[in-house]
A and B are shown apart, each in its own frame.
Chain A
Amino acid sequence: MGYTTMGFAAGVLLSVKGDVPCAPAWSFVIAALLVSGTMSFAIVPAMAASESFLAVALLTLGINFRYALYGFSMLAKWKGIPVLQKWFLVHSLADEIYALDLACTIKDPLKNRLYCLFNHGFCVGYWVLGSVSGSIAGSALPIPSRGIEFAMVALFLVIFTDQMKGFLRHHG
């Protein structure tokens, strides 16, 4: 499962570069609250440098702006879902989860809702699991860490490459 591995990498990064006490606990909080792979990486240098809240807000705004667009395509699909369940779905609307939601072709609203809830639940679970075990491994094992910060840049490059491909397909 891709989410566990990505989470693992984010956890390792947090524990070796985050410069915070009790990294696994922070990993858990970050993974469960943000449910955002990119932000889990990007927040590490911000934590290490004690960045100002405004800088963090702007950084988050830039990185996660795309999430604001995902919701639009879910408006019709998620109509009529009870409020709490809906907010959980909204809370965990991340890249790959969104892609899986979109790929679901089930027409029946109830089954579709169950599918989405399961999808989100499992993905978040795997994600948190990966993050926490990654940060435990990172604090316990001497994982060579020099240069590991490239993972975040690579993630940006991957997102950008995919976006450009989509963009060129639409407009080129």
Chain B
Amino acid sequence: MAEDILHTAGIVAVAWAVTFGLRSLPFLLFAGRGRDVPPSVERFGSIISPVIIAGLIVYSYSALEWRTAWPYIAGVLVVALQLWRRNALLSIIAGTVVYMCLLSAGCASNDYGDIVLDAAHPSIRYSAQGFLIGERYVDPRRVPSILKSYDVPTDRVIHILVDEESERDLKPARAFMGLLAHNGYRRSVLVTKKRAESHVKSEEDVTPPARGNPLAAPSSRRASPSGKRKIRYKGASE
């Protein structure tokens, strides 16, 4: 917890240091001289800035539902509005609202089409290679939105089935529970091998067949030879 706060503070500090450094750069370079911008600097800036921003646009699209058409429709709308009305605030708000509407109206089922989740008995498997829903590996940070898209009520019990070989290190799984709780899903249960039997029997259909044998990983991603791939998720709260 304290570590998390320190890290967050560090992120803010780094961002501030770089931002302030950039802002004061010309004042440090030309201290006291009061010169105009050298034309070469101005040219460089006018070319490099749009290139950087273009790169950021491409990069930030990867955080959206970029496999659907919605972010592109909203994107075109933003650019068109900005060209037409030149009102940044209007363009941003309109684009975001349209995107949110398109998302919730159109693609709740498309997004995670190949994920099979039983909304009545939601269960997520925690293996040494990561978290799985059904047979598919998922980014744990996206699990709450997946649950939401399947209309899983927040008071439903969510089982986190722990593979035998992962029982030694339950930290990521606990962090994941914290993440779920943070998003309203407070009733998650860690199911380890000893206690699993009763739960698993009744939920044979939602439990991945590989459960008893963790090395028989689903075909979507091969298990690394060591079987100890680190889970990339860092817990927010525990």
Contact = CB atoms under 8 A, between A and B. Distances in A.
A162 B53 CA distance: 11
B227 interface: no
Contact of A68 (B22, B30, B60, B63): B22
Given A49-B141, A153-B75, A160 B54 contact: yes
Contact of B104 (A65, A91, A146, A162): A146
A11 to B, nearest CB: 14
Nearest to A29: B12
Interface string B1-38: 00011011011101111111011111100100111110
B99 A159 contact: no
A61 B92 contact: no
B61 interface: yes
A66 B92 contact: no
A66 B33 CA distance: 22
15 contacts: A47-B8, A48-B141, A57-B14, A59-B15, A61-B22, A64-B23, A69-B41, A72-B37, A73-B37, A75-B33, A79-B34, A144-B100, A144-B104, A156-B56, A163-B49
> Interface size class for chain A?
35 or more
Interface stretch (B76-84, B112-120, B123-131, B158-166): B76-84
Contacts of A73: 37
Main secondary structure of the interface of B (DSSP, over half): helix
B19 A36 contact: yes
Contacts, number: 215
Contacts of A156: 53, 56-57, 60
Contact of B23 (A49, A71, A152): A71
B110 interface: no
Most chain-A CB neighbours within 10 Å: which of B18, B57, B179? B18
Interface of B: 4-5, 7-8, 10-12, 14-20, 22-27, 30, 33-37, 41-42, 45-50, 52-57, 60-61, 63-65, 71, 74-75, 78-79, 82-83, 88-89, 91-93, 95-96, 99-100, 102-104, 141, 145, 148, 179, 182, 234, 236-237
